[in-house]
Amino acid sequence: MNIHTRIVGDVHILDISGKIILGQGTMVVRNSIKDLLHSGVRKIVLNLAEVNYIDSSGVGELVSSFTAVAKDGGHLRLLNLAARVKEILAITKLLTVFQVFDNEQAAVSFP
């Protein structure tokens, strides 16, 4: 799994590719979010277009990241969910928790 970070305005977009699974995958996401929060970043978008698989630990990491960002007064949004990832989030009812976007411009438009 790889993460490439880019900045659009004051929003940090994490382009994630590969699998978010127990072990290295969840650790990379956790550490990336933690580093951004420690740097004072409060607007984060996870671009999951290239994530082809997520297991229960990966789903848990998304929830944990969402909670950590919200606790620090920030916002975490999801962008470009692959069909399988969207299906898993729908089954777990997490699509009602996350703000999910199919368009990057809309995802980075924070009020």
What pLDDT does 24 receive? Answer: 85
DSSP tag of 55: -
Residue 109: φ, ψ to 5°: -90, 90
Pairing of strands 11-20, 43-54: parallel
Each residue's pLDDT tens digit, 14-51: 999 999 999 988 999 999 999 999 999 999 999 999 99
Residue 88 confidence (pLDDT) above 90 = yes
pTM (2 d.p.): 0.96
What pLDDT does 7 receive? Answer: 98
Tokens coding 11: 């929003």
Under 8 Å CB-to-CB from 35, ≥6 apart: which residues?
none
**CATH number for region 2-107:** 3.30.750.24
Q: What is the separation of C-alpha 4 from the centre of its chain, rounded to a whole number of angstroms?
A: 12
